[in-house]
Every structure is written in structure tokens, then in C-alpha cells.
Amino acid sequence: MQKCDLRYILFMRLEQLQAFLAVAETGSFQKAALQCGVTQSAISRQIQALEAELATTLFHRAAQARLTVAGDRLLPRAKKICQEWQTAAQDIADLVAGKQPELCVAAIHSICSYHLPPVLQRFCRDYPEVQLRVTALGSDRSLKVLKDGLVDLAIVMNNRFLTTGPEMVVKILYEEPIRVLMATEHPLARFEVVPWMELAQYPQVVFKDGYGMQRIVQEQFERRGTPLKAALELNTPDAFRGVVRQGELIALLPETALMDAYQDPTLAIRSIESNLALPQLPGSNVVADPPLTRQVVMVTTRDRLQIPPILHFYTLVADLLPQYVNPHPIAAMSLDG
């Protein structure tokens, strides 16, 4: 396409092209006016404005309006432009009406495995025409693909550095404890509540880069000035259980990632010491270290919540997911103890 052609198309008004197509189809300014639901003078003004913009005549004015050579050249392009506009307008109308072909969600592995499936089933019943696509990713990666527009919602560990911005909507879902996973014969299994100094003595399995749990564990050891002995990086609860079961390595994992481990007689789960006194700023008093937890949130953008299927999924997750995340009975007993 020549630059001059592109310049002409950019300045054409859609109404002018629609009037042009109506006259070309009917062969009459009067019939075109009836077809478009406007007066004949309005059609004439649109055609005159278009001809003035293109600096050429588009119709032979006679008993029947016939296309000139320039009008014949414009005809297929005008049809294409108007058809593209109609398609775009219909797509937007369908989107606003909730008629979208798919809904994409990114979520951390433990949520995908244990607590999200009932929500997914409910949504599929409510919106059977929408294809639901769910991808298990680390928290940081999930938030990146959300910002890139590749997914509509992300269910992740909270990271204020990645969820700030006027367009972001962050819904806190729940907070859960982080515990120690080990083999039943591991030396740390003798503790009901494992001291931090004991944790530092043993090599650990940690999450890969891009997972919020890796960051939270690393920060806890840095606060105490104790090196983290990271021996192996993994990214799924199944893989953690398989490696820890061998007896040498331990792992710090959130409660929702330990559901299957509670039923495994080869594995032990222990709480972590939470009353260690840590200094604050110089000259201040020491304070009790709070329990080690992680906060799980749902993140999307304000414009997406205007789309009915996305809003419905968001509401389902906000209402139902916290109900499914209940402490395991053994974990509750451990906390009470």
C-alpha cells in the first residue's frame, strides 16, 4: 500500500465509507438514504466530503449513480475497512456481554493441586461456553504473565513489589503457616517445634527462582545472619516429597503444599520456632519473632473485572477458596501443642 493510500484511509470517516458503499450497492443516492436511514442530502454530503478528501470523483451522476475508475478502485478497500470495523465492534460487544472464548488463570502449584479444582468445576457449570485454561506457575512468573496480558487472573503468594499500580486489584484470600518437611527418621523429627538454629544445620530443598517461597525462606535466614544450605532446587510438591523422603534433606513448605505429606508414613511435618527474640533498630528493645507464614492473594486488573466471566470467576475464588483451605487436623494439634 502506498503512503498516500494509507494517508487517505486514516482520514476517511467510517460514515463516509458506509454512505459510499450504500450508493455503490443501490446505484441511487435516494435508495442509499433509505438503506442507511438518513436523508438524501446527508448521503450527498458524505459522498462530497469523501470525494473532497480524495480529490477525485467517485460516481458518475446520472439517472443511475455509477462508479468512476477511482470509485471502482476504492470499492474493495471500503468493503474491507467497514467489515473490519463491524467485526471489531462485535468482538467488543461480545466481550462486554461476557461472550469470550476463554479465561486464563495462573496459580501456584499447591492451589492448582488441592483447592482450586472445586472452583473450576463450579465455573465450568456456570459458564460452559467459556474454555478455562489454568497454568501452574511460580508467584513471580504468574504476576509477570498477568502484566503481559497472557492471563486474566493470578493466584499467588503476595508480593507488594509486583502488585502495586493503580490498575491492579489485589484480594487477600488467606494466610497459612510454613512448616518443616522431613523424613520420619530425620534427626529433626525428635522436635515438636524445630528451633531455627537446628534448621540451619541441615541442607534444604528450596523452590526455584521465580517462586515466592524461595524468597521468603531466604529472607528468614538472612534476618538471622545464618546461611541457608540450599542443596537442591525444585518446583512441585510431589518432587519435594520424593527427595525429602530419602532422608537427608529437609524443606520449608506452606501448609497447602503438605496435604499429601500428612498421609505419608515416611514423612514427618513439624512447626517452626516462632518466639525467637530478634533485635529491631539500634537502641530499641527486642521483639518476639512472629510465626512464619505466607499470604496468598488473587490479582487481576480493574478493566478485566468489567468482563462478566472474569468477575464471576473472581467472585467464586474469593468466596469459596478460603473455605477449602482449612488446617489439617494433625497440623492443628501441632499448633495447639
Query: Band of the pLDDT at 251, cuts 50, 70, 90?
Result: very high
Check residue 114 and give its pLDDT: 82
| 190 and 161 belong to one structural domain | no
Q: What is the DSSP string of 266-284?
A: TEEEEEE----EE--STTS
How confident is the prediction for the chain on average, in pLDDT? 83
All three cell numbers of 282, joined, read: 539500634
| 118 and 54 belong to one structural domain | no
Check residue 94 and give its pLDDT: 65
Give the model confidence (pLDDT) of 136-168 as tens digits. 988 888 999 999 999 999 999 988 777 888 889
User: Span 230-244, mean pLDDT?
Assistant: 90
Check residue 183 and give its pLDDT: 96
CATH code, domain carrying 186: 3.40.190.290
Evaluate if residue 286 carries a pLDDT over 50.
no
Q: Quick one: which H or E segment has residue 259?
A: none
Half-sphere exposure at residue 146, Cβ-oriented, CA atoms within 13 angstroms: 30
Check residue 275 and give its pLDDT: 53
Query: Band of the pLDDT at 128, cuts 50, 70, 90?
Result: very high
Q: Are 186 and 266 in contact (CB under 8 A)?
A: no
Q: Any residues with CB less than 8 A from the CB of 167 and at least 6 apart, and which?
A: 301, 302, 303
Structural domain containing residue 132: 102-173+294-326
> What angle (nearest 5°) sits at the alpha carbon of residue 136, between those of residues 132 and 140?
120
Domain tally, the chain = 3
| Domain endpoint, select from 96, 124, 142 | 96
Phi and psi of 52, rounded to 5°? -65, -40
All three cell numbers of 30, joined, read: 435516494
User: Span 58-65, mean pLDDT?
Assistant: 84
Of 8-22, 35-49, 213-227, least confident by mean pLDDT is 8-22
* CA gap 133, 91 in Å, rounded: 20
